[in-house]
Amino acid sequence: MPDNKDAKTAAVVVTHNRQTLLGQCLDALLGQSHPLDAILIVDNCSTDGTYEALLGRDLIAPAENAEDAPSESIKTVPLATHPGHDIEIRYVRMPENTGGAGGFHEGIRRAVDAGFKWLWLMDDDLLPTTEALRALIEKKETLARVQNRPFLLNSVVLSQEHEDDDTLAFPLQELSRGGFPKMGVYHWHLSEVRHQVRDGLYRWACPFNGTYLPAAAIAEIGLPNKDFYIRGDEKDFLWRAARKLDLYTVLDSKVYHPKPQTGVFDWKQYYAIRNMFVVNRHFNFTILRNLRLIVAALAMGMPRGRRGIALVLRAVRDGLRGRLGKRDDVHTWLSTS
C-alpha cells in the first residue's frame, strides 16, 4: 500500500484511437500489487469509441466535449484487489490530436499541478507486469538511502512478441564517460548487458515506456516539448533530464511492448528525421551525428522516388532550422501523386 502522502504516485497514460490496447493497459495498472493513487488518461481526440468504452466500464466520469481547450473529469474508483483503497481516474479529452509530445506535455503538467509526487509515464500499448510498480518503488527507496543525486528510474521494456524475457522492444544503449550515448551501440537482448548490471540497475532509460520520476524534477527539466508532435520528444526529454538526474533501468520492473516496425517509410518519418536534428544538439559530435542521420534518411526515402526524397529534404531543412510544430500537409505527402 502507498506508505505516505509524499509518495503519492500517478500513472500518466497517453492514448489515441487504440481502445483495446488502452483497456489492457488500464487493467494492468489497476492490478498492480502496489496500488497506484491515480491514473491520468490523456485522450488525444480519439474517434474509435475510447471515451464511450471507458464510460461503459464505469472507469471515468462524463467529460464535456473538448472544443477549444482540454476538458477533464475525475472519478474515484474502489480497487477490488485492494479493499479499502480507492484510485482516482482523471480523464483528459484533448480538442485535437496533439501527438505523444502534446499528450505527455498536458498529462505531466496536470499531474504535477494536482500534487502527485511521483509519475509513471507510458503510452497506451504498454503492459506492466503485476510487480512492475512495486519493484520501482522498492528500488527508489533503496537508492534514496544511499545516494544524494536525484534519479529517474525506468522499467525494462521487453518485447511482447517474444516469451524469452530477454528480447527487448527498444534497445538499451551505453553511456560514454562524458554521459553521451555511444554511437552505433544498441543492445536488443538483456543477456548482452548483464555484465554491466549493478544491484539490479543498468545505466540507461527508455522514456515514456514505464518511466518513473519525481514530479519535483519537472521544475528543472521542463515539460516535454509539445512542438515535436510525435517522434523524438521522449529523447529530448530524456537528455534534458540527464543533466539533472541519474538514469537507471530497473531489471526487476518488467513491462511489455510491441516491437516497433522497422523499415517503414511513411509521413511519420518526417517527424522522426526532423526532430532528431534537434535531439542531436544535446550530444557530442553533433555534426557527425547529423551527417549519419541524413545518409540514413536518404537511404530510406530514395526507394519512394521523388516524393520520398522531397519529404526527407524537407525534414532535413526544417530540422536544421529548428522549425518544429505539427505539419498537417506532410500527413498525406506520400499518398498524393
Cβ neighbours of residue 164 closer than 8 Å, sequence gap 6 or more: none
User: Which residues, given as ranges, of the chain have pLDDT below 70?
Assistant: 1-6, 336-337
In degrees, rounded to 5, the angle at the alpha carbon of residue 49 between the alpha carbons of residues 44 and 50 is 50
Tell me, what's the pLDDT at 99? 97
pLDDT on residue 6: 56
CATH number of the 5-257 domain? 3.90.550.10
CA dist., res. 150 & res. 176, Å (int): 20
In tens, the pLDDT along 62-96 reads 998 878 889 999 999 999 889 989 999 999 999 99
C-alpha cell, 253: 520492473
Let me know if 11 is exposed, middle or buried by CB neighbors in 10 A (0-12, 13-18, 19+): buried
Identity at 304, one-letter amino acid code: R
pLDDT at 3: 43
What is the model's pLDDT at position 5? Answer: 47
**Rg, C-alpha atoms of the chain:** 20
Q: What is the pTM of this model?
A: 0.95
Task: In the chain, list all ranges with CATH 3.90.550.10.
Answer: 5-257
Q: What is the pLDDT of residue 210?
A: 98
**For residues 96, 271, 233 and 257, what is the CA-based torsion angle, rounded to 10 degrees?**
90
For the chain, percent helix, then strand, then coil, each to nearest 5? 40, 25, 35
Region for residue 153 given its phi and psi (left: phi exceeds 0; alpha: psi -120 to 50; beta: otherwise): beta
- Look at residue 336 in the predicted model and tell me its pLDDT: 58
DSSP state of 328: G
Q: What is the pLDDT of residue 337?
A: 42
